[in-house]
Amino acid sequence: MRYRTGITLLLAALAGWAQGPASSFTNSPTPAPLGGLSPQNRPDLSPEMRGDIYMARKMYREAVEMYGKMPSDSHVSWNKMGIAYHQLGQLGLARKSYERSMKLSPKYAEAINNLGTVAYAQKNYRRATNYYRKALVIAPESASMHSNLGTALFARKKYEAAILEYQKALELDPNVFEHRGSQGTVLQERSVEERAKFHYELAKVYAKTGQGERALQYLRKALEEGYKDREKIAGEAAFAELKENPEFQAILKTEFRAL
């Protein structure tokens, strides 16, 4: 299974959450333009930069090869290699790479977080929650990690706790759920099973934080995906400021065919 991002992801967009994890490119230099050349033919690029370019092109096997040429004691290279394996769906190799990264740098929150995404992909949501919490002790200002924790809690049906994490993620990064990308150091989990309920809850989060346009976008998604409790929507306190909005009223009147 290939993971794009959705929490890494979630993601993940969250638009596109149901497609799998995606990552935010946070700790790596921006690759130099290639001018049509293959990274292999650019002697001015380091193995890490070549690997990053391959990741951007979704050439994950080539990225693994490049990251393997970085120093073996580099916790960053092992983490990035793990992400490349993760994108290939080779979760066992991804986990071993993240563990090697964490062994080299026990307080490297990115690798701990990414171990959580492996546990999440294997539906071990409790273990994923533990990894995300451990990562957040080290990096409490990471929007992606708060988002990931929210998604793991959501999977465990701990909805109120999940919403609090999503709200914190939005406070830290208003665009956390809209990020795209498949290269970087932090995977954001974007894979959820109850998509309609998830998008409904996300609409509430956006409404509470004053992002009405996105609230309406995700409310529409929820209804398109089969959310049925329209009476609950009309009486939801989070949507109080949207009730007079013509688009909100139109959404409630529209009969959507479930996707």
pLDDT of residue 254: 87
3-state secondary structure of 186: strand
Domain 1-193 class, CATH top level: mainly alpha
| DSSP sequence for 66-128 | HHTTS-TT-HHHHHHHHHHHHHTT-HHHHHHHHHHHHHH-TT-HHHHHHHHHHHHHTT-HHHH
pLDDT of residue 258: 60
188, β-bridge pairs: 22
**From CA 131, how far away is CA 257, in angstroms rounded?**
38
Q: Cβ–Cβ contacts within 10 Å for residue 50, how many? A: 22
pLDDT of residue 40: 62
**Rounded mean pLDDT for each run of 10 residues along the chain, 259 residues in total:** 35 33 40 53 80 91 92 93 95 97 96 97 97 98 95 94 94 85 72 85 92 93 88 89 92 78
Residue with tokens 């149901």: 18
**From CA 13, how far away is CA 90, in angstroms rounded?**
22
Q: Where are the domains of the chain?
A: 1-193, 194-259
pLDDT of residue 43: 67
pTM score, two decimals? Answer: 0.79
- Tokens at residue 80, please? 């990035």
- Tokens at residue 234, please? 């009309």
